[in-house]
Amino acid sequence: MSALTLQVLRDEGQAFTEDLSREGYLAHSGQKPSAEFQPIYDRYKRVLGREALEFTVDLFKSEVPGSEEHRRARLLLEWQLESQASQSLAGLDEREIAWESSAVIQTSEGRQVQYQAAAIAIANEKDRDQRILLDEARAKLIEAEHAPMRLERLQREKEYIESVDVASGYNETFDAITGMSLKALAAECAAFLRDTQSMWDDTLPAHLRRSLGITRAQATRADALALLRASEYDAAFPGSTLQASVARQLTEMGLDAGANGRIIYDIGDRPGKRSRAFCAPTRVPQEVYLVLRPHGGQNDYTTLLHETGHALHFANVREDLPFEYRWLGDNSVTESYAMLFDHRMKDKGWLLRYTELNKNNIDAFLRLSGFEELHYLRRYCGKLLYEVEAYGDNTDWRSLPDCYVETLTRATTFQYRTADAFVDFDPRYYCTRYLRAWQLQSLLNESLVSRFDIDWFRNPAAGPWMIEELWSEGQRETAEEIATRISSGGSAMSFAPLIRNIENLLAT
Ligand SMILES: [Zn+2]
């Protein structure tokens, strides 16, 4: 076997990443009953062994911060840590996916629902007693079977990261490799929760009363699913025109929804398909799958727009970029493109043009979407604060379910359940990517408005500009670098424009 070089790391790293992504796509879309990750890890031992890790750590430590070489080494090291940790957890992941795709919840009255479809069934259940029964059955099954698997995975991943000598602890390693500051972001989240508390208190009761006929003291997370499902607007968001509406908008902004065959849409119901939509690039930029399991109504429009943003990004990356810039990097960037598109669901001009909303119900819908935005931002701020606590140095994992319920319930008012403490937990701080993407998408929107006007989404020059200026670069740049590059006056990312936008929506 030849010596490990940067080129070998890239070539084999890419082949490994492609194989892994394809296996995940097949299993999560319900086309395979389980995933077989371990044979893939075995095939690529050379880029997943000690030598590869040491090679990458050395590269990271020897390159000059600020240089292109250092940027590349940082991306490769983050990928190495993630892949090496996942390698030792592949058996756990396989077991979890097989469990998820076959598990069934059963209520005390004998009603059965596939575990994967539980969130859909709860959101669609109009009878509150039935909704609570379903949620109780879901929580019982999670507590007994799913939560222990997740807890083991989280603990083992943390132990692995701490065993690699990059920085002193889990959180410090995250900061060192991503260039983010968890402390600073957590402080921003705490401030956001404080700054929006009175707005939240003023807004929530009316929505609970009007949509569900319940009080603040009664509201649970299962009620939140039903409230945000907003089935009263289903007629405005028909499933039959979902894909065509989004494709029409893309055509109007000078884009092809299928990116000349590079994006493959998998939108239909299939047993074993995850309820959470996802975008799986299997070759970047040539082959990108967009997978969605319809829930019905407005959520499907939001989700399709979101995943479309990811798919367009991956399918338009320059082919000649190296592996690390096409496949790796700061996922806040791809999430910001996804959110830029899903935020059209809060854009009056977009809604009137591409949905069946009309002048009689658009204002009420916009107020609901302001409420929804505030809810999700508060939920994600709560999630980050909880996860920082969970990954802290002296945390006793047994105390986390109570900490989870307290933190998330305080942030959202909806009563959370201890059973979800390790399931509603994205490893490796993925919630930081969403939070920063939220901030970046509002700057991207401002920039598009100043360049292409308020209805940039139907300006035929806007799509080609996005390919050229944003998507073709992959994730070479960090979210901050993109914010500085595209915003006039180099605005920094913050929650301030999001709060202004929510205030405007609520005052519609
Ligand atoms: Zn996303």
The Å distance, Cα 452 to ligand 1 centre, comes to 25
pLDDT at 488 over 80: no
Q: What is the pLDDT of residue 33?
A: 85
State the pTM of this model: 0.94
pLDDT at 471 over 70: yes
Q: What is the pLDDT of residue 145?
A: 97
Task: Specify the pairing of strand 112-114 against strand 278-283.
Answer: unpaired
Q: What is the pLDDT of residue 2?
A: 64
Write 418-423 long-range contacts (CB < 8 A, 24+).
418/143, 419/139, 419/140, 419/142, 419/143, 419/147, 420/139, 420/142, 420/147, 420/221, 421/147, 422/147, 422/150, 422/151, 422/154, 423/142, 423/146, 423/147, 423/150
The Å distance, Cα 332 to ligand 1 centre, comes to 9
The Å distance, Cα 112 to ligand 1 centre, comes to 30
Give residue-wise pLDDT tens across range 316-343: 999 999 999 999 999 999 999 999 999 9
Q: What is the pLDDT of residue 34?
A: 85
Give residue-wise pLDDT tens across range 27-39: 999 999 888 999 9
The Å distance, Cα 437 to ligand 1 centre, comes to 9
Cβ-count burial 203-224 (b if 16+ within 10 Å, e if not): bbeebbeebbebeeeebbbbbb
CA 477 to chain centre: 19
Of the chain, the percentage scoring pLDDT greater than 70 comes to 99
Q: What is the spatial distance between Cα 119 and Cα 226, in angstroms, rounded to a whole number?
A: 9
Residues 6+ apart with CB under 8 A from 489: none
Predicted confidence band at 1 (pLDDT cuts at 50, 70, 90)? low
The Å distance, Cα 335 to ligand 1 centre, comes to 5
* Averaged confidence pLDDT in the chain: 95
Give residue-wise pLDDT tens across range 81-94: 999 998 989 899 88
Give residue-wise pLDDT tens across range 235-251: 999 999 999 999 999 99
Protein residues with C-beta less than 5 angstroms from the ion ligand 1:
335, 338
Least confident of 300-314, 387-401, 457-471: 387-401
The Å distance, Cα 289 to ligand 1 centre, comes to 13
pLDDT at 159 over 80: yes
Q: What is the pLDDT of residue 97?
A: 87
The Å distance, Cα 306 to ligand 1 centre, comes to 6
The Å distance, Cα 229 to ligand 1 centre, comes to 19
Contact 216, 208 (CB under 8 A): yes
Q: What is the pLDDT of residue 127?
A: 95
- Nearest partner of 118 among 133, 105, 99, 109, judged by Cα: 105
pLDDT at 285 over 60: yes
Residue 355 DSSP code: S
Predicted confidence band at 276 (pLDDT cuts at 50, 70, 90)? confident
- At 8, is the secondary structure helix, strand, or coil? helix
Give residue-wise pLDDT tens across range 196-215: 999 999 999 999 999 999 99
The Å distance, Cα 338 to ligand 1 centre, comes to 6
The Å distance, Cα 305 to ligand 1 centre, comes to 10
The Å distance, Cα 59 to ligand 1 centre, comes to 30
